[in-house]
Structure 1
Amino acid sequence: MTTTTEDTVILGEVLDRWKAAVDAHQPERVAAQFTEDAVFQGLHPYAVGRQGVTDYYASQPLGLKAVYRVLETRRPADGVVLGYLAVEFSFTDRPPLDVKLSVLVTREGEDWYISHYQVSRLD
């Protein structure tokens, strides 16, 4: 159970779609990258499901951008990839915010979606 190229590619495909939607300030498109019953923990109280993800990202300021780097991956089961990432969220009016992000992506049909998302600030 170590980081593999295949797992990094899977995470990259999902997180590139997430990043593009975050950068474009399209909350519904961000939420579409999550499962219907995803557990979502940003820097505010947690939510379950796509509506909570939509509401969270709708409340974020215009100009928010995300840059991520995969630090570790694990494959705890078939159709499941765990990722641990460093993410920098940048803003137009204040310094960037560096966080750690854990995601669990699960395969549904031919695609992968985020089923668990948890951000941590380590300052």
Structure 2
Amino acid sequence: MSESAEVKMDYQAVITRVLDAWKDGVDSHRPGRVAACFTEDALFQGAHPGYSLGRKGVEEYYAEQPVGLTVRYEIREIRPLVQDVLSAYVDPVFTRPDGTELRFHLTVILLQQAENDWLISHYHVSGLCGMTVATSV
């Protein structure tokens, strides 16, 4: 395996590990677990109008989501920006308890905090073209 393929695989593992923890928090309706995936000063823009800064805003946003909400995702692109900073373009699909699916595009920027410890510093969701964004994920 070439060195660049090996490095890309490491990036994939990092993004997957963080997003799997985020997914676990969403699926189990544990807003604090979701917020723990973010830096203390994270810039967060979900499906609601506006944005928040920090874990508290992330936790409040996910606390408003219905119990039974789940998410699955597909990582489309990963880009290293500088050392210890990764960007990823992701397609998440949220499923409401009634089975309604909400599809989005998501851009995340992850910062390395310590060895093998990465957190989301920037989270930006956008609706698909022609789609009305719901007030609850």
Same fold (TM over 0.5): yes
The within-5 A match list for 1:1-123 is 4-44=8-48, 45-110=50-115, 111-122=117-128, 123=131
State the alpha-carbon separation in 2 of the partners of residues 37 and 109 from structure 1. Answer: 16
Taking structure 2 as the reference length, what is the TM-score of the superposition?
0.86
Once the 2 structures are TM-superposed, how far is the Cα of residue 109 of structure 1 from its aligned partner? 1.4
Once the 2 structures are TM-superposed, how far is the Cα of residue 57 of structure 1 from its aligned partner? 0.2
Query: What is the identity, as a one-letter code, of the residue corresponding to 2:13?
Result: V
Q: Which has the larger radius of gyration?
A: 2
Once the 2 structures are TM-superposed, how far is the Cα of residue 94 of structure 1 from its aligned partner? 4.8
Once the 2 structures are TM-superposed, how far is the Cα of residue 4 of structure 1 from its aligned partner? 2.1
State the alpha-carbon separation in 2 of the partners of residues 83 and 63 from structure 1. Answer: 26
Unaligned runs of 5+ residues in structure 1 are none
Same amino acid, percent of matched pairs = 45
Taking structure 1 as the reference length, what is the TM-score of the superposition?
0.95
Cα offsets for 1:17-76 (capped at 9, x unmatched): 000011000001100000000000001120000000000000000100010110001001
For the aligned residue pairs, the C-alpha RMSD in angstroms reads 1.7
Once the 2 structures are TM-superposed, how far is the Cα of residue 119 of structure 1 from its aligned partner? 0.4
Once the 2 structures are TM-superposed, how far is the Cα of residue 7 of structure 1 from its aligned partner? 1.2
